[in-house]
Amino acid sequence: MKLLVLNGPNLNLLGVREPDIYGKKTYADLVRAVKAECRRRGIAVKILQSNSEAALVTAIQKAYGKYDGIIINPAAYTHTSIALLDAIKAVAIPTVEVHLSDVSSREEFRKISYVGLAAKKTIAGKGIDGYLEAVAFFAAGEAEK
């Protein structure tokens, strides 16, 4: 199994950016945790972070025929990007949307998720553990149901 993990804008600032909301763990901590979980499960993984919507769309398009699943934290693009939604729908790769914080209990505008319209599952409010839950979801074959 091969997974692509995509992280949107400002996630490179984890540990610095609003630690009361996003936690004190860094982006490097997130990458280490995901790689370790995938290694433990025998899953190949590529992890990418970009502040550019275009780069994320391109990564999704390039994933076609190469990856079995996508885990994406679109960050602010969750609430604005029809382009990400369309890219996910176009490649038809099973996708899990992940958010570090519980977006449903935050500002009203954060309750709208375009990416969630195409995702097989959304995991929110579990910090880095949400990514590990997404890996487990794919490992268990849940994305194929």
> CA-CA distance, 29 to 47, in Å (whole number)?
13
Cβ atoms of residues 47 and 34 within 8 Å: yes
Marked catalytic residue, from 67, 99, 114, 131: 99
Segment holding 49, helix H or strand E: strand 44-49
Marked catalytic residue, from 22, 67, 77, 114: 22
**22 counts as catalytic:** yes
**67 counts as catalytic:** no
> CA-CA distance, 15 to 76, in Å (whole number)?
17
Which residues form the catalytic set? 22, 99
